[in-house]
Amino acid sequence: MKRQFPKVHDLAPLMKFKKPEINGKKRRLDSALTIEDLRKIAKRRTPRPAFDYTDGSAEAEISISRAREAFTDIQFNPAILRDVSTVNTGWDVLGAPVALPFGIAPTGFTRMMQTEGEIAGAHAAARAGIPFSLSTMGTASIEDVKAANPNGRNWFQLYMWKERERSMALVDRAAAAGYDTLLVTVDVPVAGARLRDKRNGMSIPPALTPGTVINALPRPQWWIDFLTTEPLAFASLDRWSGTVAELLDTMFDPTVTFEDLAWIRDQWPGKIVVKGIQTVADAKAVVDLGVDGIVLSNHGGRQLDRAPIPFHLLPEVATEVGNDTEIVLDTGIMSGADIVASIALGARFTLIGRAYLYGLMAGGEAGVDRAIEILREQVERTMRLLGVVALEELTPAHVTQLTRLAPRARTAERV
């Protein structure tokens, strides 16, 4: 092989240097290619109690682990030689169009994660053409979220409190502000045992203790933002010195029944969706009440540990009630491929909670934009690789759920 010294004019085309990005936030977010990348950035930038409140779940955290494994344990079945030059990722959900098959889930205490909070999420949702859901335990008012997303779709999530009048006052405000959908959460008769919060001494608002000060030293920007912006305010309280779970136990009503759900349905003028369905029987029961949709969800693993896996439940629920109501899925979604698989197996829509909060903690409003963009790119790419150009073309034939966990056969009871 003949060798020679390289010539300058031959080297020149190879020597391309990327222009450095001066903006640290943009550089940080541009480097994130997945939601897990955003999670790692969020963990570096957020004090442990706030990060763990988002990242953690109940007890041994088995439910969220299984939910994510369920999405890992799928096989896509692509079709080839299709023209996929143009892909449509939108359709109608609950009577109005969405640009993408996912929306932002309701999350509590959001401004503790990052001070831009729900307003950042509402702005990002408006730009993306997707719904934004405000939690009863949110840290922005119903009216301020509407102002941040005046022409988009706003959903309000309702917890029924022991003081019913306070709950329904929020419902009345949401209706007056033009929210189009009410998400009634039904899986919280009491709070789950969120052990990370207990170990971290998670209080509302976060307390300055020797431990939190030490943890804050490498994360000064979070504390600067927290201490120099408007104090946290909640729809439900001004201050609470206990843990989040203790707060929830003082508020949530363990006596709520199907009759209460029917009563709420009659009070709300828009679409009503029941969030927290975990069995086929309960799906049928609430559909018989005339609701417009259901959310298959185990609350992100934050209530009953070892709860049913929503993604595993989806095909059977879709078969039983899919023609009678719209099915939304949440819990464990960390990629656009997870979303596409959910739509293929019968969901009309999905909700992202942690994925949105990881983006928020990683970079405020710009971080939420980045989370949505990552998921958008993944949805489009997965659809193209499957050989489909519209959500309507996705079918159960595109997805095989592989088996890792399967019920053991029951033995006969002893006499």
Residues annotated as part of the active site = 299
Where is 157: in which H helix or E strand? strand 154-158
Long-range contacts of 149-154 (CB under 8 A, 24+ apart): 149/122, 149/123, 149/125, 151/126, 152/122, 152/125, 152/126, 153/96, 153/98, 153/103, 153/125, 153/180, 153/181, 154/122, 154/178, 154/179, 154/180
Give SS3 for 53.
helix
DSSP 301: G
Ranges of H-type helices in 56-107: 62-72
Looking at the chain, how many residues does it have?
Answer: 415
CB 301 within 8 A of CB 337: no
Distance from the Cα of residue 1 to its chain's centroid: 59
Q: Which residue has the tokens 């209706």?
A: 175
Q: Shortest CA distance to 196 belongs to which of 47, 362, 45, 299? A: 47
CB 171 within 8 A of CB 151: no
How many Cα atoms occupy the beta-carbon half-sphere of 133 within 13 Å? 27
C-alpha pair distances (Å), 25 with each of 18, 357, 373: 17, 16, 16
- Bridge partners of 97, per DSSP, are 92
Q: Tell me, what amino acid is at 186?
A: V
C-alpha pair distances (Å), 50 with each of 111, 227, 234, 242: 10, 15, 16, 15
Q: Shortest CA distance to 326 belongs to which of 131, 104, 98, 92? A: 92
Q: For 364, left (φ over 0), alpha (ψ -120 to 50), or beta?
A: left
Give SS3 for 132.
strand
Q: Which residue has the tokens 């640009």?
A: 99
**Preceding omega of 101 cis (within 30 degrees of 0):** no
Distance CA 277, CA 279 (A): 6
